[in-house]
Structure 1
């Protein structure tokens, strides 16, 4: 290596080293302060002000330096429950700003706020420019206030699923896809082979959207004490996109129009009597006892080895690490799997299924389904003794899919050709620039059918349902939580707290603590384990969620080729 190269490497190495030493010092100083003795005086209000993407759970600790993500749903809920017992906290004020929170996450926060109100403390909410999920959070308050200015507004959109179709574009490029699937409604390949959804797929999507829409309208009407027809008219008959403050008051969506400073003054809340949930949540730690229920957070796409782009992925190796921790802790008497996954690799789902089947032979296992627990997500749920779905859960999608690209036409357009020289009946069969023969496609279909039968047999065995009945529930169909309950795919509807209570009952314990896995880790742990891309992903999530969406879309596409998938074939706002 010449001296110039050594010099350049040195220029890069020493600044990096300086940053690391600075970070270590930063975390030691910030971490050395005992937040449990923070000087919040009596009469303090906890301020919850979510904006941007709010994760259900994050494995990465927030440090305000490298990882400046928003406080997660899990952290908000723990803060609210701690505040209910904290004599210094007089109430909670909610002021969201176009926060992206899953419907299941909103339900978890709502449950925590209900417990808080039961302590006799107040919850108030304030809206200025707000979206639908902001409102669904704020409506849990005792009083909902809104800025009176005409520049304020509320956007209630309803629910929808948007599917992008690529076929016409691909035809122009000379690219096509062979889609092999088992399950007539497993529509993941339709965007590549059609210009619109086939009627059965559309009807299935419509059914889960209708169930979610009806549930949301019913929840708003019930909580706000309004007629169901009146709330439905707000969504379907109002004249303008944004609901003005005066309209929000007229529709019964808010209780009073007032300037924020005036509202705070009415409650005697000064700036020094406000503590942000970002700061307060650092006081919260899981309450462990001699007997505990472990909550395993399983979020994201099911991929072998996890995702290089995000901490939010599920793999057998990561689950095994958590199981090993459970096996070494005799205080853990039951396990709750909090699953939020559209599925992914079929083989990895089977590996996880095996590990969870082994786990259920040791301790009671209960699944708590979050926003989407479908396809592979449902596959890994079935070993549980009980499955509890959130009211807004989308589940099912029992089917198999493989999508294989072929670009012979593109090759001709740009003068790119390939020639295979080899031995064996199937040598070169996955050539990107060559067409697959009908014989190969028939072979792949037989394989898909075999994998599909295995999926159905797991459901039949674990859920004690006949194969004939499973077939009527399968075919790639998705189900709302209530439909899944009616058809025996789940055992109940409720939140994470309900699932924990059921797990404790199965374990015959009453005085128990909660252990959360995986444990949150600081930056240096990620650096030590060479998991830098998840860290970058967390930073991007805070700055630009769209960048992470692109990266995750690439990951999904990568695992959509040459591998059998148990994957939800479309995306619905969670």
Structure 2
């Protein structure tokens, strides 16, 4: 028996040794590969055209990578489907002064399913494109089947060409919401809700089969507000009155190329080979691809990052902290922003004497009330020691607005969705679905409220009363945050709160934000408030952009996690859209079940 055990131990020891050696070899391989590939530049010819593929998703925060994604990127170069807003703005600004870049070509279609497709991001990119054009360099847009997003961005170009077999959409916006009430009832899933705010409609997705009147009223207002913003921009660039654009949208909506040309919506109707010839007249010829010299936006960004790396002898810094996506309790992950993680980063910035001001870039619909308050507390403490400027992206609503209230100045775009000052509580009851499958529950307790958070039964009237009290107290705290942060009277806050969603254009009139502007304007204001001279500071971004070595370190420590089914967006659109409705439940991790979040499951086309 002893010899048998020794044999087993020897085999186990050999396996552990082999595994250790394999891991060390793998680490060595990746490190060497990283050094070999590090700094691989992109060769850009003189008189090149910068290609802006509209299918590129433009997000706020740098990507959260896994070791395998980083490895693939090292071999294949940067991905063509995702860049950050700041990188995009910097690249277009740099290209305007770059003698190698002869012009800009917008091509392709936006992906409306991603957070980066929001109109505030596109508005800021439009401004950058117009400045590029003002530098004396041509901008051309080639469209085939453009969405309204595509066309909105393309109107910043000097000329718009459409494919003869394409079409142009100007059929307006719609906002549709998925409602799971009937599905939950069918499957035997019970939902109990407590909410504060007449317009607080986030919980409706789980309890109803359609919109409440209050939700319909507020949604119609913000959708029409964004549509007005789009029409105003198109009108200014195309020289068509807003009334005429409304008429075209109402009477037809979809336009064949010849009709779009006749109405002045585009400048020409051509196949792509004509566009190639036109680009050839502007750019040099590249023998290696037998076409005009060109560089795609992600590669141009990468080249700029290598050549224009920040000078670390500059001690003074402006920090941009990104809060993009759902706010959840704990650390979060690559998809969701954990309150503890963001609070820790803000605390570090507060204690760092080299950081002179902070920009909080918020592109979030909110989430856990506890996580939101943890972040807001650190924003408040940070603001006592150095300037804090908020830049609102596509969404800065409910919890997203909560964390913004203590800032010195809040910037928003007219099409930003904000407000939603209200809270709700949501609790599941899985007893019926369990019973249908032969599972029952029984037990004992020491006091009437010992099982208040139990999901295997419905809450009693007494328990609901306690939950209502908690919900109302959180709502009161939210109102106080707005009242103190914005310098408003309580009655003024109550009149615009109630969970109601507003556009940025409305918010500035109501006193919820201070100025209209994007990320660049917020950074400029932070530099001013920080008392910094031009060229005397550098920008740092939080979460920090991960290089190969840090990704490798995280992989070894097993710190990078990804929730199950987090890639449901890769599924066919209709299936992914349906599944996303159920996936939001995994975001509901507040310890008390109380959330400051705008309506769930809204898709706008």
Q: Give the TM-score of the pair, scaled to structure 2.
A: 0.85
Residues 85-118 of structure 1: CA distance to partner in whole angstroms, max 9, x if unpaired?
2111111111122433221111121122123223
Equivalent-residue separation in structure 2 for 1:293 and 1:544 (angstroms): 41
Q: What residue ranges of structure 1 are gaps of 5+ in the alignment?
A: none
Q: How does 1:486-497 map to 2 (within 5 A)?
A: 486-497=509-520
Counterpart for residue 94 of structure 1? 106
Answering whether residue 361 of structure 2 is matched by residue 300 of structure 1, we say no
Following superposition of structure 1 onto structure 2, how do residues 4-403 of structure 1 map, counting pairs within 5 Å? Answer: 22-33=29-40, 35=41, 39-51=43-55, 53-60=57-64, 63=70, 65=72, 68=79, 69-100=81-112, 101-148=117-164, 150=165, 152-238=166-252, 240=254, 243-268=255-280, 269=283, 270=285, 271=291, 273-285=293-305, 291-308=316-333, 310-325=334-349, 327-328=351-352, 330=354, 332-403=355-426
Cα distance in 1 for residues equivalent to 2:428 and 2:465: 16
For 1:483-503, what per-residue CA distance to the aligned partner results, in whole angstroms no more than 9, with x for missing partners?
111111111111112222222
Unaligned runs of 5+ in 2: 1-7, 286-290
1:564 equivalent in alignment to 2:594:
yes
Instruction: Give CA-to-partner distance per residue, 1:397-455, whole Å, 9 cap, x none.
Output: 11111111123333443332211212122122333232211111111101111111111
Higher mean C-alpha displacement, 158-167 vs 442-451: 158-167
CA deviation after TM superposition for structure 1 residue 477, in Å:
0.6
User: Is the CA contact (8 Å cut-off) linking 2:350 and 2:385 kept in structure 1?
Assistant: no
| 8 Å CA contact retained: 1:230, 1:251 | no
Q: For the structure 1 residues 492 and 553, does the alpha-carbon distance in structure 2 shift closer, same or farther, using more than 3 Å as the test?
A: farther
Q: Shift of residue 196 of structure 1?
A: 2.0
Question: What's the secondary structure of 2:596's corresponding residue?
Answer: strand
Deviation at 1:24, TM superposition (A): 3.6
Q: Retained in 2: the 8 A contact 1:56–1:102?
A: no
Q: 1:247 to 1:536 in 2, by over 3 A?
A: farther
Q: What is the match of residue 474 of structure 1?
A: 497
- TM-fit CA distance, 1:2: 8.3
**Cα deviation 1:239-295 (Å, max 9, x = unaligned):** 65xx32222212222111122222232242343510111211112346565644322
User: Would you say the 8 A contact 2:189–2:429 is kept in 1?
Assistant: yes
How many pairs align? Answer: 565
Q: Is the CA contact 1:99–1:133 (under 8 Å) kept in the aligned structure 2?
A: no
1 CA distance for matches of 2:21 and 2:106?
A: 44
Match 2:560 to one of 532, 535, 538: 532
C-alpha distance in structure 2 between counterparts of 1:440 and 1:434, whole Å: 12
Structure 1 residues 573 and 20 mapped into 2: Cα distance closer, same or farther (>3 Å)? farther
TM-score by length of 1: 0.89
Q: 2:288 matched to which residue of 1? A: none
Q: Are residues 231 and 28 of structure 1, via their aligned partners in 2, closer, same or farther at CA, if it must alter by over 3 Å? A: farther
CA distance in 2, matches of 1:536, 1:171: 25
With over 3 angstroms needed to count, the CA separation of the structure-2 counterparts of 1:10 and 1:51, relative to structure 1, is farther
Cα drift, residue 5 of structure 1: 8.5
Distance of aligned partners of 1:200 and 1:302 in 2 relative to their CA distance in 1, 3 Å threshold? same
Question: 230-239 or 138-147, which moves further after superposition?
Answer: 230-239
Aligned match of 1:430:
453
> Root-mean-square deviation (CA), in Å?
3.2
Cα distance, 1:32 vs structure 2: 3.0
